[in-house]
Amino acid sequence: MMTIKRSFESTAPLDLLYADTQISVRSIADGSVRLVGQIDLTNGDAVADALAGRRRSTVIVMDVAELNFIDLYGLRILALLSEDPRDRPVELRNPRPSLVRLLQLLSWPTFTLV
């Protein structure tokens, strides 16, 4: 069973890493990344390029509270941020119930939900 803890601490955006008509990706002061909008096949590669530097981070943290839609391609992009999901899972903060359910169905060890 997956345990979910909600974190609603407000952190001001620091740096716009990528934006298009569907998604904005921002680096946050606490070292996490905020995703707002939608990730799918049309913008997944651009989001991956924007997040490429995060692979070197010890902890990969994404605030997905405002992520309205993500398809399997988008989830794969986020999963590939972790070179070894057993040692470095991608932490997803504030996931919507639909995303939680999708991750439960997939049973991917890559993601930790906070």
CATH number of the domain at 73, please: 3.30.750.24
- Provide the domain limits for residue 78: 13-95+107-113
Give the burial string for 58-92 (b: 16+ CB within 10 Å, else e): eebbbbbbebeebeeebbebbbebbeebeebbbbb
How many independent structural domains does the chain possess? 1
Q: What is the pTM of this model?
A: 0.82
Q: Which residue has the higher pLDDT, 78 or 7?
A: 78
What's the pLDDT score for residue 60? 86
Q: Kindly state the DSSP code that residue 31 receives in the 8-state scheme.
A: S
The pLDDT tens digits of the residues spanning 16-40 come to 999 999 999 999 988 899 999 999 9
Inside any domain, residue 29: yes
Q: 3-class DSSP state for residue 67?
A: strand
The pLDDT tens digits of the residues spanning 52-102 come to 877 666 678 999 999 999 999 999 999 888 776 566 778 999 999 999 999
